[in-house]
Amino acid sequence: MAPAYKRILLKVSGEALAGDNSFGIEPPFLQAVAKQIADVAKTGVEIAIVVGGGNIFRGMAGAADGTDRVTADTMGMLGTMINALALSNAISRQGVKSKPYSAVPMPSVADAFTAREAKASLEEGYVVVLGGGTGNPFFTTDTASTLRAIELECDVVLKGTKVDGVYSADPMKDPAATRYDHVTYDEVIGQDLRVMDTAAFALARDNGMPIIVYALNDAAGLAGVLSGTARSTRVSKSKPL
């Protein structure tokens, strides 16, 4: 059976890459995520990845400690680049070609991101791993994910994170929160359901880009999400009848 999607944008949570730790990358978990991605790539699905940086540094935390926000966000973007290099290398080790790109110019580290070059690499069968977020302070890698999905003409954004969908409240803080199978852009924005930031949801809404939120550690993996067997929440314009 043909895959449901031709080209996907996967957001890999930086925070989740820390596994059971609160900082850094847990190598076995990184390899497990890389294997899930490589297995799907081998079925012919084109995969672009945006990596977060919450396992290394978040600009808001730095700014709260007194670092100026632009410097703090730059530190955050550099953190995402560390994750991008690690993930791209881990995917290559699973036998699938992968290339990192950076939104922040650093020529000796990775090619600078352009949509044109990233698209050409996708067409050549590379999994492209996009570090540096949007390349601008005051944004997040969630917004970068939606932006890159639109630029690269992806069919869907998959947000792989620590929770298995969008809930009525943050499930990490409210044990009574309930999970939705499907929710609209207007509901997530109107009810301030903060699994992604409002800018990311608004950009997705304005460009009709569907988002699927799932847990990176789900045993069914990325393939399970794409086939509909893993727990997840779909965010789109309207709900199925």
Ligand X SMILES: O=c1ccn([C@@H]2O[C@H](COP(=O)(O)O)[C@@H](O)[C@H]2O)c(=O)[nH]1
Q: Which residues of this chain interact with ligand X, rule CB under 6 A?
A: 14, 52-54, 58-60, 73, 76-77, 79-80, 133-134, 136-137, 139-142, 144
| Residue 160 labelled as part of a binding site | no
Q: Does the footprint of ligand ATP cover residue 186 (CB under 6 A)?
A: no
The binder of 171, among ligand X, ligand ATP, none, by C-beta within 5 to 8 A per type, is ligand ATP
| Residue 145 labelled as part of a binding site | no
Cβ distance to ligand X smaller for residue 63 or 220: 63
- Contact pattern from residue 124 through residue 163 relative to ligand ATP, giving x for each residue in contact according to CB under 6 A and a dash for the rest: -----------------xx------------------xxx
The distance of closest approach from Cβ of residue 21 to ligand X in the complex, given in angstroms and rounded to an integer, is: 16
Cβ-based burial of 57 (10 A; exposed 0-12, middle 13-18, buried ≥19): buried
The distance of closest approach from Cβ of residue 39 to ligand ATP in the complex, given in angstroms and rounded to an integer, is: 22
Cβ-based burial of 174 (10 A; exposed 0-12, middle 13-18, buried ≥19): exposed
Q: Does the footprint of ligand ATP cover residue 171 (CB under 6 A)?
A: yes
The binder of 164, among ligand X, ligand ATP, none, by C-beta within 5 to 8 A per type, is none
Strand 211-215 and strand 156-161: pairing? parallel
Contacts of ligand ATP in 196-215 (CB under 6 A): none
- Contact pattern from residue 4 through residue 23 relative to ligand ATP, giving x for each residue in contact according to CB under 6 A and a dash for the rest: ---------xxxx-------
Cβ distance to ligand ATP smaller for residue 52 or 126: 52
Q: Which residues are annotated as a binding site for UMP?
A: 53, 73, 134-141
